[in-house]
Every structure is written in C-alpha cells, then in structure tokens.
Amino acid sequence: MTIVRKRRPTATRRTSNRVTPQTLAALLSRVSTEMATRGMSHRTEEQYLHWVKRYIRWADGMHPTRLGVTDLNRFLESLAVEHGLSPSTRNQASCAIRFMYRHVLGLRMPRPGSRGGPVRAQKPKRLPTVLSQEEALLLLRHMKGRNRLVASLLYGSGLRLREGLHLRVKDINLHMGQIHVQAGKGGRDRITLLPIPLLSEVQEQIDRRARLHEADLEEGHGWAPFMHPFGKPIPTRQRSLAWQYLFPASSLVEDPDAPGCFGRGPLHPTAIGRALAAAKEKSGIPKHITAHTLRHSFATHLLRDGYDIRTIQELLGHKSVRTTMIYTHVLNRPGVGVRSPLEVREPEPDYHGACCACRCRCSCHSPEGNAG
C-alpha cells in the first residue's frame, strides 16, 4: 500500500474491514466537522460527503483504510469510462477522498500526478461561449417575469447562477445601485453593480416578496433557512424580511439548523435553466447557452468597452486575475495584423496607368511627382 501513516503521539484504533451504517455515519460526521473547522463552504461540504459515500459504495462497503492509491485510481477510472464524468468532476472526487484520508483518517497520500500518486485528470483548454450584446438582449426579450429578472441580473451584474438565486433582500442597495454578494464562491464577499434599468423591477420583486413573507408569518412560518454561513441563528433576525431570499421557492422547507421551523428556500436552478432553453429556441440563437454564458458575456462586453481588467476581476469575484484574463483571448482576433488571402482587397492606386508597370512607390509615382 502506498498510503503512509502519519506519526502521531497516540496510537490509532484498529478498524474492521467493512463499513457499517454506524461507522459510515461517524465517518461522515468527522468529515463534516473537519471541513467546518477549516471554514469550507456548505456547498463544498455537501459535495465532499457525496464523494466519500460514493467511494465506499463503489468499494462494496470496504473500509477506506483497507484501500489505497490503486483503488482510488480505479474508482476515478470508472467515473470516466463508465459514467463519462468531466475532468473537473473527477478531480473534485479525488480531492474529497484525499481530504478524508489526510484530515480524518490520519493517512497521507502522494500528491496527484506525482510518482505513485493518484492520477490527475487534465482539463481541456476551451474558450467560453459569449453572446453579442444584441443576442443577449434578444434572449432576455423572450423571457418573462421572475425568470427574466434573474437572467437580467446574471448578465447585467456578472453574477453566478447560485449567487443570483441566493440573494437576500438585504443584499440589494437600490439607492447606491449595488448588490452585496455574500458567501460567494470560496466563501468570499464582494460588491457588484445593480443596473439602473433593473431598479424598478427589483423594487417590485422586493414588494412581492414582502407580501409573501407577511402571508407566511400569519401562518406561523416565515423563517429564513440556511443561515449557517452568517453565524449563530437568531430568531428575530431569521423572521425579518431583510434575511428572506429575494427569489423564493414556491414551497416551504424545514430549516436544517432549526428543526420545526419552516421557511422558503431559494428558487431551484433548474427553473432558470428551462427558461433559458425555451428562450434560446424562440430567439433562434445558434449557440450553446447556459446561465454562465450570461456571466461570460458580461465580462467580455466590459472588457471590450475598455474597462480595466482589475475592475472586472473585482466585479466577477475572481481570486486571481489569471482567471479573468481568459476573456482577453475571447476578444483577440487570431493572427493579429494578418489578412486572409480570401478577403477582398481594394486595388492599389495606379497613378500612371499602363505606362508604369513596376507599381513601385517611389517619389516619381506620387501625384506630385514628375510624370516623365
């Protein structure tokens, strides 16, 4: 086995070959605790727990301490060959399982790609799909109501889909024309712009949300769920309008942090995905369009209009400017300064007609030169 056990002052407990339901629950609890201690996002925690369970299920219930790098590579191979998952998804699965080995079981694996380590899937380098400004506006015109407002915020503010759906009423600043994105990707906060043409629509959405919240309060509900990224839940804060999701789901859900308390979670992403697909068919745009295409278009159009790359990086919430630089490649024309021979060229001026066969640009061939 290529896994090396770390040196620890206390002896490790012996484990059985199989994972029982009680053992699995304890293992997942430890993984969740370790991730919470390191301040990792709730979304990442969900994904890591999913991959740990799937890895154990693939191993037919064998305990992870009885498995090694070879087994992990076989698992990653099955994800690629049998399930056709992308390189990014397979790398995420590898990170989740290695996190369990290192931080929960106290075992250490070689780094991915190193000798004797797990195989790291290579991501193909692709440029993002970008809509022109005319195509983006045409797409939005074929959407209606709440879905149109969400898509307009994705394009007009550069939000990720999850960020747009997880906006709370307090995150909107109509007077300053700003949106406060809280707990975005990587747990980072940022400020982005709120387009002026959307101010009235956003105000109307806040008014509708307030009326729905009043109706929920009258029925004894109205809790704002999923408050764990913002500290210890406070009942008075959770039942206020400010902490309610701006785009709520149609049904009530029980708050996992407060059993017995019901509120409205965020709108599900599939609703926006279906609306975008329908608008694409109606508009006839011959491109592959997702919610993230609108964010790509936001960044590309700002860059085309001459805005600084650092400003765009802050609006998008990128950790590194290298991520933002990909949009410069979208704008670049291949072979800068080179004209294809297929392009129609205007004939060069012939100052002397048939009497000059060389067509050179010496002084005698200029309009002011001597014709002799």
The DSSP output letter for 120 is P
Under 8 Å between Cβ of 100 and 52: yes
Could you please report the per-residue DSSP string of 329-356? HHHPPSSTT---TTS--PPPP-SSGGG-
Determine the Cα–Cα distance for residues 152 and 130; give it in Å rounded to an integer.
15
90, 146, 160, 301: which one is catalytic? 160
Amino acid type, 16: S
Q: Is 292 a catalytic residue?
A: yes
185, 228, 237, 304: which one is catalytic? 185
**Nearest residue to 123 (alpha-carbon basis) of 91, 77, 79:** 91
Query: Based on C-alpha coordinates, what's the Rg of the chain?
Result: 29
190, 264, 295, 301: which one is catalytic? 295
Amino acid type, 281: E
Return the structure tokens found at 42.
């709730």
The secondary element (H helix, E strand) that includes residue 298 is: helix 291-304
48, 101, 155, 327: which one is catalytic? 327
Q: Is 6 a catalytic residue?
A: no
Paired strand residues for 172: 179
| Phi, psi angle pair for 192, to nearest 5° | -130, 175
Q: Is 327 a catalytic residue?
A: yes
Q: Is 90 a catalytic residue?
A: no
Under 8 Å between Cβ of 132 and 139: no
Helix (H, G, I), strand (E, B) or coil at 245: strand
146, 168, 296, 318: which one is catalytic? 318
C-alpha separations of 255 from 4, 240, 300 in Å? 41, 15, 39
Q: Is 57 a catalytic residue?
A: no
Determine the Cα–Cα distance for residues 295 and 130; give it in Å rounded to an integer.
9
Residue whose entry in the numeric block shows the structure tokens 């790098």: 69
287, 292, 310, 329: which one is catalytic? 292
Determine the Cα–Cα distance for residues 295 and 100; give it in Å rounded to an integer.
34
Instruction: Work out the end-to-end distance of the chain between its first and last CA atoms, rounded to an integer number of angstroms.
Output: 92
- Catalytically active residues, by annotation: 160, 185, 292, 295, 318, 327
